[in-house]
Amino acid sequence: MTSLGDEIYLLRRKAAGQVEVYDVISYRLLRRLTVPNAGAFYDMTSCQHFLCLYICDPAVKCVHRLDFEGNAAMWPVNDKPRSLSVNADHNLIVTCRADRKIKEFSPCGDLLRDVTLPDDVINPLHAIQLTNGQFIVCHGRRNYPIHRVCRISSDGQELVHSHGEEQGSNIGQYDVPNHLAVDDNEFVYAVDVGNRRVTLLSPTLDYKRQVVSCDQLKWQPDRLCYDVQRRRLYVNDCKFNDGMYTAGRVVVFSV
């Protein structure tokens, strides 16, 4: 899920490769886009500068790019991409979970660099690069002991700040921090899947408050998107049965 201009884009995990486009005011379905040569989808982001969408496809280890004119392109990542974001230079940041790497690509798909994360950042799930070059990274997985949100140096070598530690449900703990959003003041929103909440952290990753609690959700939050212009937080609320998505909706919060 991502927003671009006056539209919200919702990625459907189905074989037809559909992206649903909704009006940001009325939430009315406007059209559907098809991603050619799609294998499987996992995450999506948008670039306001180039007016395009990026979709990661772990099945064929690639990234798809779609623009407003219907042009489509794809390029290899050579790792399974887990999640995406766009940095201040309008380059694509790809998080690769298995190899604990962040890869930066140009808008044309040229690999600019890859960053190996510190040894204790196991199972990175999402990364966002800040304007100073540092990264906000969330990591953790079921049956893994450490679940955190971290601020990491631009070269990937130093852990600057962190929030969370052992997996748990108390304030200051996470149960799979799966996805992130950063506002224009670099406050961090972190989806906590197992605890069914969204946590707000300061730029130095100090705990501020829960911006979404479990009683505001029907199932489990999975992804989120922050609309800076309208100060809206869009949260995916998904139902899982036997490891499969069986239902879902998007919940909108003013923040």
Residues 79-109: tens digit of each pLDDT: 999 999 999 999 999 999 999 999 999 999 9
Distance (Å, rounded) from C-alpha 177 to C-alpha 174?
Answer: 6
Tens-place pLDDT, residues 149-183: 999 999 999 999 999 999 999 999 999 999 999 99
- Enumerate residues 6+ apart whose C-beta is below 8 A from 60: 37, 39
Beta bridge partners of 18: 34
- Enumerate residues 6+ apart whose C-beta is below 8 A from 29: 20, 21, 22
DSSP state of 168: -
What pLDDT score was predicted for residue 244? Answer: 73
Which is more confident, 201 or 68? Answer: 201
pLDDT for residue 69 is more than 80: no
Please report, as a single letter, which amino acid is at residue 160.
Answer: V
Answer yes or no: pTM beyond 0.85. Answer: yes
As a whole number, the mean pLDDT across the chain is: 93
CA distances from 185 to 85, 189, 204, 252 (A): 17, 12, 11, 20
Candidates 179, 198, 195; CA nearest to 139 is 179
Which is more confident, 64 or 42? Answer: 64
Distance (Å, rounded) from C-alpha 149 to C-alpha 84?
Answer: 16
Tokens coding 133: 């070059």
Q: Which of 11-15, 19-23, 191-195, 196-200 has the lowest mean pLDDT?
A: 11-15
Share of the chain above pLDDT 70, in %: 98
Average pLDDT over residues 123-141: 97
What pLDDT score was predicted for residue 17? Answer: 58
Average pLDDT over residues 56-62: 93
Domains with residue ranges and CATH for the chain: 117-254 (2.120.10.30)
Average pLDDT over residues 52-56: 95
Banded pLDDT at 13 (limits 50, 70, 90):
low
Tracing tokens 């919060």 back to the chain, one arrives at 253
Distance (Å, rounded) from C-alpha 31 to C-alpha 22?
Answer: 7
DSSP state of 90: S
Share of the chain above pLDDT 90, in %: 83
The answer to whether residues 211 and 253 touch, using CB atoms and an 8 Å cutoff, is: yes
Which is more confident, 189 or 35? Answer: 189
What pLDDT score was predicted for residue 241? Answer: 80
